[in-house]
Copies of this chain bind each other. A is one copy, B any other.
Amino acid sequence: MKTDSGERPARAPLSRERVLEGALAIADAGGLESLTIRSLAHELGVKPMSVYYYVANKSEIIDGIVDRVFSEIELPAPDGDWRTEMRRRSASARAVLRRHPWAIPLLQSRTHPGPATLRHHDAVIGSLRSAGFSMAMTAHAFALIDSYVFGFALSESALPINGPETVTEVATSMMPSSAPDLYPHLIEFTTEHILKPGYDFGAEFDFGLTLILDALSSPSHAGIRP
């Protein structure tokens, strides 16, 4: 009765790729804290220690999936209009980070960037440089845009998944039921604006990005662009 095949769950033979794939799926489904070696092994249909044949430790797994997240972000085309390209890659970054919110704190702070991460930064710098930005101005723009995009994603990730309607419960749950007028501006602002039907926090993204891009291309930074 011990048939050689047909007994096994017939799974793919495991590989570093499949390990990272599974890890990404788990992190997306339940956040970083749900990604454990055991949960990953279970997902892959193997026993925990098998994973360690393909990765040295858990931190290598995390480096790997962070780089995968970076690889999902659209690169700016080096020959396009830099404002258009920056807008595209920023919107893409934001969309990607909404899919992988657990990655936001890690994107900027991992000290072992992978190839996709390096390619991404290379493309952004290239886009600015070929638009005529000086070295110094490229550094300024790069830090500014990146800080804004990732900072916004970080703020946004605090709110539950999607849509303007869920904001209501978050905002109200954050308000202390006691202490009625300790925070008058905050309460006024929340009730009069945030909780109003039309408000969508996500829409703030475009305002800030446009303002930044406009300011970066304004003539007040003379001698910088061609």
Contacts and interface: CB of A to CB of B under 8 A. Distances in A.
Nearest to A220: B214
A87 interface: no
A186 B143 contact: no
B150 A155 contact: yes
Nearest to A211: B215
A167 B209 CA distance: 28
Contacts of A132: none
Interface residues of A, number: 58
A135 B192 contact: yes
Given A143-B204, A147-B208, A186 B111 contact: no
Nearest to A112: B174
A interface secondary structure, majority? helix
Interface stretch (A4-12, A13-21, A66-74, A101-109): A101-109
Interface stretch (A22-30, A35-43, A48-56, A116-124): A116-124
A77 interface: no
Given A139-B193, A148-B148, A182-B118, A214 B215 contact: yes
A81 interface: no
A161 interface: no
